[in-house]
Structure 1
Amino acid sequence: MIQILVKTIQMLLCISILVIVHELGHFAFSKLFKVHVEKFVLFFDPWFSICKKKIGKTIYGIGWVPLGGYVKIYGMSREEQNMRVDSSIREKISNNNIKFCSKSSIKRLLIVSGGIIFNVLLSIFIFSGLLFLYGEVKLPTQNVKYGIEVDSLGKEIGLQNGDKILFVNGKFIPYFNDISKEILLGEDITVDRMGNIIHLSLKNEKKRIIFDKKEFNFIIKPRVPPIINSVIKDSLAYKCGLKKNDEILSINSDLILFSDQIKDILYKNKNKLVSISFNRNEQLMNKQLILDNKGIIGIYLKSFVDMDQIFSFEKKTYSMLGCIYHGAIHTYMVLKNQILFFKNVFYFKTKAYKQLGSFFSIAKELPSEWNWEVFWVLTGTLSIWLAFVNFFPIPSLDGGYILLIIIEIITTKTISEKFVEKSNIIGFFIISCIMFIIIIWDIFKVFFS
């Protein structure tokens, strides 16, 4: 229950930050150009609001549907010029030009684009801040000396434990951290398999293997020696005396070189007496135990991040300006990868559309224990995604308004108000249907998978 509560609070905080910053973009440019903002609302408020307060000439409130938010800008529709407005600003309207529709095309374009601009800036700010606080730790691909360890999904697309990845899409990937992402978005892999050069195709059929899953979990790790990281109390390993930092060398007559070999060998010998040889502080030791019917002995093995003595990591820190520069680069790369993934959504053979999700998927990605670094990475990623989606030239989205204003600038003609109104109704209907389908699909994935 506590884990669900932590995830829910993180999700609501994440959505709140994204919505407030987005709407603040519209609000800030409206104020800059002296356009009256009637309402600033976090979350949607059909029928009623959780709370609201009038400050100055603007009503600020919190709705009860956590799917977004809005600012109501006076004069977005030319018909609003004739509508009745608050008596406290009626005199000001008659004396000053505070209507959106009365501003120049460039000013209207900036007001409408404000949300997108602020979401991009938020993403850059978050990634810059993370670089400043934590620096950047990367593993050069050339330092992955033992090749890779793959999960069952990796094996399905043709990879094997011990493969050394040479190229993805004919391009050398300098840092191992980026390889999984490049494979997801790529079309072919070149690997060195025990001295043989193998080319693996990642066409739509293989992409389908990756994306056509209820649980999306594609993992590639560096292959590592089998060194114990921790022993579960009262487990078979605990009772027979295995300890942290013991390096397992063999099980019965099977020589063990890498962590990925252990699980299969233990399972093969389930319900049997096994002899485990291991290295403890440069001393060869041996223990015997009888496995259970699952072949589990109760140990956690070290991952590559725990092996600085084997893998040489590059640790980078940046100046303030360097953090901003690399934060902007990181934002661009996140956006680029999102666009490349989005392209796969429209290739129905890949079934990448199955990985689309709503706030339920967001909550699932958040840790069950509060972790600020993970929270801000996800928030920064979603912020640039929100900017990208809002840029779509669909009526009722920011991108739809941007397109209409650009058409007006190019043609120097005012677009019919009836056309704009009908377009927004159609656009709103399309977006509502898409959101409804995604939410229903997400509920099905999360609760009934």
Structure 2
Amino acid sequence: KEQMAQPAQPWEFRSKPAWQRLIIMIGGVVVNLILGFLIYMMVLGVWGRDYVNQGDVSHGFSAAPVAKDIGFQDGDKIQSVNGEELFSVLDISRHLLMRDVNTVEVVHQDGSEEAISIPEDFGMTMWKNGQEVPLTPVGFATLDSVLPNRAASAAGLLKGDSILSINGNPVQYWHEAKAEIQKVFNSNLLMKVYRNNEAIYLAVRNDSLGKIGVSGGSPAKTISVSHKDFSFSEAISEGFSYGYWTLHDYVVQFKYVFTKKGATQIGGFGAIGNLFPAAWDWNQFWMNTALISIILAFMNLLPIPALDGGHVLFLLWEMLTGRAVSQKVLERAQTVGMLLLLALLLYANGLDVIKGFF
């Protein structure tokens, strides 16, 4: 305080013109962005990128109820989005949730083609209905996991079991099995499964949400993954594009954060740790490092006192009005900003703890 009460010295930050101070304040944000973009360029140049072509999803996509409401059908094959093919057709759900999608061109199971119009607020509809992935590659009705201490494990279901029928209704694909399991809540199910070269019957009861504690339908056998390597110049172009859309999608998703459901999805250090795989993978490490760098750039630019964005806001005010904000206002704003950030930190990490134990 004593130092700030003295006249500004030529070497002090506060003595510089407002435009110079503005450049300094946004310097950290710019460096984080550049770093994230450069890492994406490096990763694509070194490891390339896996993708799935439009024609390499052999059984098409299964559609969640929210997707069926606007015209999608089980078995649809995605041809294009807004008239352009996706780099990887598996990105379709992310485009519907985060991007400005007007039409999706599909081929239905019967061979007919249709351009499905996407409502303007479809992303929010997906979010509110808990169907953020409305289109998933069709997978066979094989169990990928059976949760312990749930109805399925108590009934004797095992990982790798192939479901042949439920209550006498034959099923081949996972979305068909899931529909049968959830047809009536709190009901008894007679499941015919194939295990060790023989068919057996098991009785299981679903819960009030229509669940029995299993997951399945891995599309590993129904999709073909391709790989593309990039030249030096291609890696620069593709890395910039990947970084741009990563930043775009992160900014867009904030509209979901400011909802009742979104407030419970915030994560802290635990959520960041969960980004990284259990087994070390340099490719994934660098991809996540680039993502975190871009997230930090955006978050630090938010107009909250104590963040660079808060200082930028005050500097812009000074440049527009010709009058600097008083030191007392700056100090109070800094205090409020620090308290707000501390509260957000405690809230986000508290949610991590709750999710970890409940």
Q: Does 1:120 align with 2:30?
A: no
| Residue 410 (structure 1) aligns with | 320
Alignment of 1:37-76 (within 5 A): none
Separation in 2 of the partners of 1:256 and 1:327? 43
| Residue 222 (structure 1) aligns with | 137
The residue identity in structure 2 corresponding to 1:320 is F
The residue identity in structure 2 corresponding to 1:396 is A
Separation in 1 of the partners of 2:278 and 2:217? 22
Task: State which of 248, 254, 265 in structure 2 corresponds to 1:342.
Answer: 254
| Residue 269 (structure 2) aligns with | 359
Q: Does 1:209 align with 2:129?
A: yes
Separation in 1 of the partners of 2:277 and 2:299? 25
The residue identity in structure 2 corresponding to 1:208 is K
Separation in 1 of the partners of 2:288 and 2:17? 37
| Residue 52 (structure 2) aligns with | 139
| Residue 130 (structure 1) aligns with | 43
| Residue 45 (structure 1) aligns with | none
Decide whether the 8 Å contact of 2:78 with 2:89 is kept in 1: no
Q: Comparing 133-142 with 409-418, which one deviates more in the overlay?
A: 409-418
Q: CA shift at 1:426, angstroms?
A: 2.4
Task: State which of 348, 372, 375 in structure 1 corresponds to 2:282.
Answer: 372
Separation in 1 of the partners of 2:266 and 2:250? 12
Q: Which has the higher contact order (CA 8 A, sep 6+)?
A: 2
Separation in 2 of the partners of 1:226 and 1:172? 32
Decide whether the 8 Å contact of 1:146 with 1:162 is kept in 2: yes
Alignment of 1:89-104 (within 5 A): 97-104=10-17
Q: CA shift at 1:343, angstroms?
A: 1.7
Once the two structures are superposed, residues 155-205 of structure 1 have per-residue CA deviations (whole angstroms, 9 ceiling, x without a partner) of: 46546541334666x565523132121122368875554448566753645
| Residue 5 (structure 1) aligns with | none
Change (3 A) 1:205 1:293: same
Partner of 2:29: helix, strand, or coil?
helix
| Residue 447 (structure 1) aligns with | 357
Change (3 A) 1:115 1:314: same
Separation in 1 of the partners of 2:336 and 2:262? 26
| Residue 147 (structure 2) aligns with | none
Higher CA-based Rg? 1
Change (3 A) 1:301 1:356: closer
Change (3 A) 1:183 1:148: same
RMSD over aligned Cα atoms: 4.4
| Residue 332 (structure 1) aligns with | 244
Separation in 2 of the partners of 1:103 and 1:358? 37
In the alignment, structure 1 segments of 5+ residues that lack a partner are 1-76, 84-92, 212-216, 230-243, 277-285
**Count of equivalent residues:** 317
Decide whether the 8 Å contact of 1:208 with 1:352 is kept in 2: no
| Residue 232 (structure 2) aligns with | 320
| Residue 155 (structure 2) aligns with | none
TM-score normalised to structure 1 length? 0.57
Alignment of 1:190-269 (within 5 A): 192-194=107-109, 195=112, 197=114, 202=122, 204-210=124-130, 218=133, 220-223=135-138
The residue identity in structure 1 corresponding to 2:284 is V
Separation in 1 of the partners of 2:128 and 2:202? 37
Separation in 2 of the partners of 1:345 and 1:326? 29
TM-score normalised to structure 2 length? 0.69
Q: CA shift at 1:104, angstroms?
A: 3.3
Separation in 1 of the partners of 2:128 and 2:244? 27
Change (3 A) 1:228 1:446: closer
Decide whether the 8 Å contact of 1:78 with 1:417 is kept in 2: no
| Residue 299 (structure 2) aligns with | 389
Separation in 1 of the partners of 2:142 and 2:227? 24
Decide whether the 8 Å contact of 1:120 with 1:383 is kept in 2: yes
Q: CA shift at 1:99, angstroms?
A: 1.7
Q: CA shift at 1:288, angstroms?
A: 2.9
The residue identity in structure 1 corresponding to 2:249 is N
Separation in 1 of the partners of 2:339 and 2:178? 52
Separation in 2 of the partners of 1:357 and 1:411? 39
Once the two structures are superposed, residues 372-416 of structure 1 have per-residue CA deviations (whole angstroms, 9 ceiling, x without a partner) of: 322322221121111111111222210111122233333343332
Partner of 2:284: helix, strand, or coil?
helix
Separation in 1 of the partners of 2:126 and 2:237? 36
Separation in 2 of the partners of 1:225 and 1:344? 32
Partner of 1:365: helix, strand, or coil?
coil
Q: CA shift at 1:100, angstroms?
A: 1.4
Q: Does 1:107 align with 2:20?
A: yes
Q: CA shift at 1:255, angstroms?
A: 8.0
